[in-house]
Structure 1
Amino acid sequence: MNDDITDGTRRTLADAIAMSTSITAAETTLDALPSIDERRLPLTARIYGALCLMVGLVTLPMLVLVIVDTVDGLDMTDIRPTLTFILSCVHAAVLVANSAALIVFGVLLVRNRRRYAARWAYALIPLTLLEGLSNLELYGLGPSLLPSFAQLVLLVVISVVADPTLRDERRIQRALRRLDERDRLEAEAKIGMVGRDLSGRGYIALDFFNLFWVFVVACVVGLGIETVYHFVMYHGEWQDRAGLLYGPFSPIYGFGAVLLTVLLNRLWDSNPLLIFIASAIIGGSFEFAVSWFMETAFGITAWDYTGQWLSVDGRTSGRYMLMWGLLGLVWVRLALPRLLKLINRIPWQWRYSLTVAVFVLLFVDGVMTLMALDCWYSRAAGLQPGSPVELFFQRHYGDEYMRQRFQTMTMNPSLTGRM
Structure 2
Amino acid sequence: MDSTLLQQTPLQPDPGIGSGSGSERTPWGLKVFGVLLMIGGVLLIPQAVGVVVAMVELFAGGAYGDDSVLTVILSLVLAAAVCFAIVAGVVLGVRLVRGRRRRARLIAESMAIALALAFASDLMLYGVNEGLWLLGAAALILVAAHVAVDPSLSDERELQRRLRLMETRDELEEGILGLDKSGAGFIELDFFNLFWIFVIASVAGVVIESIYHVLVVDFGHYEDRAGLLWGPFSPIYGFGALLMTLALNRFHNAPVPVVFLVSALIGGAFEYFVSWFMEYAFGAVAWDYTGTFLNINGRTNFMFMCMWGALGVVWVKLALPALLHTVNLIPWRWRYSITAVCAALMILNGVMTLVALDCWYSRLAGAAPDNALEQFCAEHFDNQWMEHRFESMSIDPGAAHRSS
- TM normalised by structure 2 equals 0.87
CA distance in 2, matches of 1:379, 1:208: 37
The 1:69–1:363 alpha-carbon spacing in structure 2 relative to 1, beyond 3 Å, is closer
Deviation at 1:93, TM superposition (A): 3.3
Q: Kindly provide the CA deviation profile for residues 96-155 of structure 1, in whole angstroms up to 9, marking residues without a partner as x.
A: 443453355335423434463234323322321221121111221122112211111111
State the AA in 1 paired with 2:26: R
SS at 1:244's partner residue?
A: coil
Q: 2:289 aligned to 305, 310, 314, which one?
A: 305
State the AA in 1 paired with 2:322: R
More deviation, 379-388/71-80: 71-80
Q: 1:272 aligned to 249, 252, 256, which one?
A: 256
State the AA in 1 paired with 2:97: V
- Other-structure match for 1:214: 197
Counterpart mapping for 1:65-144 below 5 A: 81-114=68-101, 116-144=103-131
State the AA in 2 paired with 1:223: V
CA distance in 2, matches of 1:385, 1:217: 35
Count of residue pairs the alignment pairs up: 394
Question: Conserved in 1, the CA contact under 8 Å of 2:276 and 2:299?
Answer: yes
Between structure 1 and structure 2, the one with the greater Rg is 1
Q: What RMSD in Å do the two structures reach over aligned CA positions? A: 3.0
More deviation, 317-326/66-75: 66-75
Q: 1:40 aligned to 20, 26, 35, which one?
A: 26
- Other-structure match for 1:12: none
Which runs of at least 4 in structure 1 moved beyond 4 Å after TM superposition?
32-37, 49-56, 58-80
More deviation, 403-412/187-196: 187-196
SS at 1:349's partner residue?
A: coil
State the AA in 1 paired with 2:249: N
Is 1:392 the counterpart of 2:376? The answer is yes
- Other-structure match for 1:339: 323
Deviation at 1:388, TM superposition (A): 2.4
Q: Kindly provide the CA deviation profile for residues 241-263 of structure 1, in whole angstroms up to 9, marking residues without a partner as x.
A: 11111111111111111111111
List gaps (5 residues or longer) in structure 2. none
SS at 2:226's partner residue?
A: coil
- TM normalised by structure 1 equals 0.85
- Other-structure match for 2:4: 24
Question: Conserved in 1, the CA contact under 8 Å of 2:48 and 2:83?
Answer: no
Deviation at 1:39, TM superposition (A): 4.5
SS at 1:30's partner residue?
A: coil
State the AA in 2 paired with 1:385: P
More deviation, 133-142/34-43: 34-43
Q: 2:267 aligned to 265, 268, 283, which one?
A: 283
CA distance in 1, matches of 2:55, 2:355: 35
CA distance in 1, matches of 2:55, 2:381: 44
State the AA in 1 paired with 2:161: R
- Other-structure match for 1:8: none
CA distance in 1, matches of 2:227, 2:298: 20
CA distance in 1, matches of 2:102, 2:209: 39
- Other-structure match for 2:213: 230
The 1:115–1:208 alpha-carbon spacing in structure 2 relative to 1, beyond 3 Å, is farther
Is 1:314 the counterpart of 2:298? The answer is yes
Question: Conserved in 2, the CA contact under 8 Å of 1:87 and 1:138?
Answer: yes
More deviation, 372-381/159-168: 159-168
SS at 2:261's partner residue?
A: helix
The 1:171–1:77 alpha-carbon spacing in structure 2 relative to 1, beyond 3 Å, is closer
More deviation, 387-396/30-39: 30-39
CA distance in 2, matches of 1:68, 1:409: 32
Q: 1:362 aligned to 346, 350, 353, which one?
A: 346
- Other-structure match for 2:178: 195
CA distance in 1, matches of 2:346, 2:63: 45
State the AA in 2 paired with 1:29: T
